[in-house]
Structure 1
Amino acid sequence: MQGWGTSVQRRRTGTIAVVSALGMTAVLGGCGLTGGPDEVTLKLVAADYGDSKDNSSQKYWDELAKSYEAGHPGVHVDVTVHSWNDVDREVRDMVEAGDAPDMAQIGAYSDYADKGLLYRADDVLSIPVQANFVSQLAGAGQVNGTQYGLPFAASTRVLFYNKTLFDKAGVTPPTSWDDLAKAAEALDDEGVKYPYALPLGPEEAQAETMQWMLSGGGGYTDDLGTYSVDSPQNATTFTWLRDELVGKGLTGPVAPGELDRADAFAAFANGDVGMLNGHPSLMKMAGDKGVKYGMVTTPGADGESKSTLGVSDWMTAFKSNGHQEEIGDFLDYVYSDENVLDFSREYNLLPVTTSASQAMSGSEEDKKLKPFLDELLLSELYPVDKTSWASVSAAVKKQIGQAVAPGGNPEDVLARIQTTASQASSAE
């Protein structure tokens, strides 16, 4: 491959401050690694973003690996893709068995960084590539000021609503919780199966939970970064959900604690749901089924929410196999504008680099993603820099549905999750 980068640009000592690199495009020069007389096989485990065999992420990675190998005859890239339900566990099992992959594209990184298992970003990435990450995402990839998590795919959330159902019920898109409740009741009166879908099931309850916490002025942590799951704001939020939506029979298709995101999205795409929080991939799902949808900023307690949820998945580079140079060279290729944009467009996700984000913002073909792009720099992400986050997230997935169940006690549920958070945090 013409003009590929060498490791000369990489810095192996010290910590660099991540900058937003506005206007910066990664410029890479030099020639590719050949691996010397011995061929090197890089093992990558990745998550599947597709919803069928036709658009499985395995297909994306196989094509990217083939393209990379064509210019690097001494390096082979072996990619295994797992569903999101399995990928984090698969990688954890590999690491515990002493068989860590060279790279893993997964949902968290901090526990591996805490154990000293990961290369730092500046161990493997060229300076232009590392500096090109969107600052909001790069900052979330740091532990104690050092970046270990490399943002790979990003999304923000907005409220999707079914235009046809809203017109039939004579309501307009909500900007506040009161608006949302009134719209849900009007939809219910018109016979809409599920006025609001509230996925607090085990697949991604931590996302819906944080979206609602933020809209109520709360969150998982306070301004100092200390867990505040049981804050008065959060208790008010889940009491409102219990009383104004779930308790009035305005949610579905199943009880919130049993509803996964994928099923909620599918119900919306089938035209059965009036509104729900969604990320960019829902646009294609709904559009393919002919659903006329609109998108608005997440409603808040007293008007549009002042904060929205941002989510990033992570690429990690493990030290155990010692392929630092080859990993770095391959990841520089992964994060080229062409490849970042190809992946983002294939799966309706947001680019994680500034230059690719700018390219998408100015592109006519990507105009539907602009509402999500605009929110990215204002979004708040999970506290993924905390090694305790995995335990907290698991507790949320297991328990938060109980907070909104009829007769549920939000204060008690949030207090139990807070206890888990405090205990896990004290062990960090």
Structure 2
Amino acid sequence: MSARITELSRRRFLGGSLMIVAGAVTAACSTDPTGGSSSSGARTTLNVWYHAYGEAGAQQAVLRYATAFTKANPDIAVKVSWVPGDYTSKLNATLLTDAAPDVFEIGDFSESLARRGQIAALDDLYGSAKADFNENAVSSVTVDGKLYGVKTIDDVMVLYYRKSRLSKAGITPPATFDALATAAKDLSTKKNKGLFVGNDGLGDSAIMAVRSNGGDLVADNGKAVFDSPQAREALTGLKRLHDDKSLLLGFTTDWWDPSAITQNVVPMQWCGLWAMPAIKTALGDDFGVMPWPAFKAGGTPVVRVGGWTTCVNAKGKKVDAAKKFVQWLWIQQSDLQKDWSQSYGLHIPPRKSVAAAADKLSQGTAKETVELAAAYGKNNPGTWSTAVSTVFTTAATKIVGGQGDPARLLEGAAKQAQSDIDKQRS
């Protein structure tokens, strides 16, 4: 699941740490792992951080993986730290201290971690397997030609729709934004709205709108480019959803949870592949998926690709052991990678061979989502930090709310964003 979702209430799990020692799981103090490792004879103990996944069984799975690693490498003990709440803030703060983890996962990849020497280049781990990773998985972790992480899951976000509701209204899945806006309006009733993109009425829609009109967020040279004519046109057009009052706002859960569509509150919802098992359980085959449509004829449909990437702390004292763990789990163990992707929610394995062997992704709407990701998938830029995202979202919110001149709002936001991007790249 994408990085920002970890800050939401869905992640209210109990946190804690467990030590994997010589193949056994024992409780351990998160600040004193050495007692457990010395009793096992392990010379090294790795501290490995995961955010608190909400999917049932995920925590037990990473413990099993660590157990298997230590069984194969008895000189290396593994302490798994399961971190609840605002994972990103906790990680960034801990990376500045001596308690920083040796191995950790991050959501949307942060280019600044590589540029300031916080994470190690991992090119030597890939070998011939590099060609087996999909293009987004490689490009998203590449900084100045080097690979600084290993993508572990791709989380794909698409528009879900109720087939029966659209069919009854004589509506085909929209291929342009104008058709989407028309459908959302026509499907709205006195009691229900036609579309849910997030409780704030925006969610990912501003990013999708810009990209579906041929615009971009940040160029490869690090220049903020979301103040383009394409972006202004798309965001101004996005205002129509708000003017038509066809968006569901302030629901009991946000867009990452499928309850709005499964409970028949809306016939169309932006959500992730991870929710597909729950949607299928609730609706059977009465749902389909589609990309965010092209803004206009000649534009490009878009799906959002997020996910999680494992990195090695370059400033730690156990870099070699940490690399060994990452290589063993995320390069060599294709069976565990398959298990991780489809047994706890539903995600796309970044490895092409593993994705091809994932039976739960081989048919129906799951297969269609995989194909949409391959055709239209876009990652957020590596410089799309919280600060950059916030200034863009603030401007987009004002534009769709009719609270200012779009050109001036985006120009001002781009200047603020550029300042942060320059700091990241310096």
Which residue does 2:415 correspond to in 1?
419
Q: Structure 1: 5+ residue runs without aligned partners?
A: 1-31
> How many pairs does the alignment contain?
380
Which residue does 1:270 correspond to in 2?
263
Question: Which of 264, 272, 276 is 1:279 aligned to?
Answer: 272
Structure 1 CA distance for aligned equivalents of residues 106 and 245 of structure 2: 36
SS at structure 2 position matched to 1:194:
coil
SS at structure 2 position matched to 1:289:
helix
Given that 2:310 and 2:326 are in contact with CA atoms closer than 8 Å, whether structure 1 keeps it comes out as no
Given that 1:392 and 1:421 are in contact with CA atoms closer than 8 Å, whether structure 2 keeps it comes out as yes
Given that 1:241 and 1:404 are in contact with CA atoms closer than 8 Å, whether structure 2 keeps it comes out as yes
Which residue does 1:109 correspond to in 2?
110
Which residue does 2:83 correspond to in 1?
82
Relative to structure 1, is the Cα distance of residues 364 and 144 closer, same or farther in structure 2, using a 3 angstrom cutoff? closer
**1:71 pairs with 2:72:** yes
Cα distance, 1:38 vs structure 2: 4.4
**1:145 pairs with 2:145:** yes
Given that 2:276 and 2:366 are in contact with CA atoms closer than 8 Å, whether structure 1 keeps it comes out as no
Which residue does 2:52 correspond to in 1?
48
Given that 1:247 and 1:406 are in contact with CA atoms closer than 8 Å, whether structure 2 keeps it comes out as no
Tell me the amino acid that sits aligned with residue 419 of structure 1: K
Q: Deviations over 1:27-79 (max 9, x none)?
A: xxxxx9x999643211111123324xx34x32221121122222222222211
Cα distance, 1:188 vs structure 2: 1.4
Relative to structure 1, is the Cα distance of residues 333 and 369 closer, same or farther in structure 2, using a 3 angstrom cutoff? farther
Structure 2 CA distance for aligned equivalents of residues 400 and 209 of structure 1: 7
Tell me the amino acid that sits aligned with residue 70 of structure 2: E
Structure 1 CA distance for aligned equivalents of residues 123 and 174 of structure 2: 45
What pairs up with 1:6-405 in 2 under 5 angstroms? 38-51=42-55, 54-55=56-57, 57-83=58-84, 86-107=86-107, 108-123=109-124, 125-189=125-189, 191=190, 193-199=192-198, 201=200, 205=203, 207-222=204-219, 226-242=223-239, 244-254=240-250, 260-262=254-256, 265-290=258-283, 292-303=286-297, 305-335=300-330, 336-346=333-343, 347-360=345-358, 363=359, 366-367=362-363, 368-378=365-375, 379-384=377-382, 386=383, 389-397=385-393, 400-405=396-401
Structure 2 CA distance for aligned equivalents of residues 364 and 307 of structure 1: 23
Q: Deviations over 1:177-196 (max 9, x none)?
A: 2211221122114x461211
Given that 2:52 and 2:82 are in contact with CA atoms closer than 8 Å, whether structure 1 keeps it comes out as yes
Structure 1 CA distance for aligned equivalents of residues 348 and 172 of structure 2: 28
Cα distance, 1:200 vs structure 2: 7.2
Q: Deviations over 1:304-352 (max 9, x none)?
A: 7344432242211002332233222221232221111111102211111
TM-score between the two structures when normalised by the length of structure 2: 0.80
TM-score between the two structures when normalised by the length of structure 1: 0.79
Structure 2 CA distance for aligned equivalents of residues 355 and 151 of structure 1: 14
Cα distance, 1:230 vs structure 2: 1.2
Given that 2:217 and 2:224 are in contact with CA atoms closer than 8 Å, whether structure 1 keeps it comes out as yes
Relative to structure 1, is the Cα distance of residues 294 and 63 closer, same or farther in structure 2, using a 3 angstrom cutoff? same
SS at structure 2 position matched to 1:152:
strand
Q: Which stretch shifts more, 229-238 or 132-141?
A: 132-141
Q: Deviations over 1:104-143 (max 9, x none)?
A: 11123322211112211135x2524444322332122111
Q: Deviations over 1:229-287 (max 9, x none)?
A: 11111111111111x211111001339xx984335x33122221221333212312322
Given that 1:110 and 1:149 are in contact with CA atoms closer than 8 Å, whether structure 2 keeps it comes out as no
Relative to structure 1, is the Cα distance of residues 201 and 87 closer, same or farther in structure 2, using a 3 angstrom cutoff? farther
Tell me the amino acid that sits aligned with residue 347 of structure 2: L
Q: Percent identity?
A: 21
Structure 2 CA distance for aligned equivalents of residues 155 and 163 of structure 1: 23
Relative to structure 1, is the Cα distance of residues 223 and 71 closer, same or farther in structure 2, using a 3 angstrom cutoff? closer
SS at structure 2 position matched to 1:105:
strand
Structure 1 CA distance for aligned equivalents of residues 374 and 267 of structure 2: 28
RMSD of aligned alpha carbons: 3.0
Structure 1 CA distance for aligned equivalents of residues 295 and 306 of structure 2: 22
Tell me the amino acid that sits aligned with residue 147 of structure 1: L
Given that 1:194 and 1:251 are in contact with CA atoms closer than 8 Å, whether structure 2 keeps it comes out as yes
Structure 1 CA distance for aligned equivalents of residues 94 and 266 of structure 2: 40
